[in-house]
Chain A
């Protein structure tokens, strides 16, 4: 059973384009949601953390939103750059402290 779904699985865009990555989850007992970036063969780098009581968080060119009632989160990347190429994962944490990850969206930004 897929508890976290990330769409699309892969995305290729030209440099400079704005883009949106989607994350859907089924568990209503969400405590917070976190977006990560992973480069090939490396660990995860935290991008943004949104508490269940918050609607969005911003960091530089990144903006993450959370709609707990519909079970959706989006990661908006403005003015994409080739250095943004990576796999982006979302994960939600429950009140019990359990984390569930999506399979990620692999982003390629072409120069």
Chain B
């Protein structure tokens, strides 16, 4: 069965631009979470969506936003990109909170 699919795999953007990342969860999974991973900060939780509603949110500025569609696919948007936004963005999906998470391969974002 297909795993969690993230697109694109790599992205280069200029400071000030905005970017949209996409995540398709495993079929049947209704929970999608987003994480930012950097060498200095490690893996940090951005937000979680369940049935099109944001259920949890991490400590990131409002430039980071997301949404989930009725088919459980999720998008994450970052506006007014800064150099510090360069990171590996990971998406994870789950049937529900007690059943563990499956991660995608991530989107490597580089801001120049």
- Residues of A at under 8 Å CB distance from B? 31-32, 34, 36, 41-46, 49, 51, 89, 91, 93, 95-104
Contact = CB atoms under 8 A, between A and B. Distances in A.
B101 interface: yes
Interface string B53-93: 00110000000000000000000000000000000101010
Contacts of B97: 31, 93, 95, 97
Nearest to B105: A43
B42 A46 contact: no
A97 B55 contact: yes
B31 A97 contact: yes
Q: Tell me if B's interface is mostly helix, strand, loop or mixed.
A: strand
Contacts, number: 55
Contact of A98 (B4, B6, B56, B103): B56
Contact of B106 (A31, A43, A102): A43
B24 interface: no
Given A42-B105, A44-B90, A44-B103, A32 B98 contact: yes
Contact of B48 (A51, A89, A97, A103): A97
A46 B3 CA distance: 12
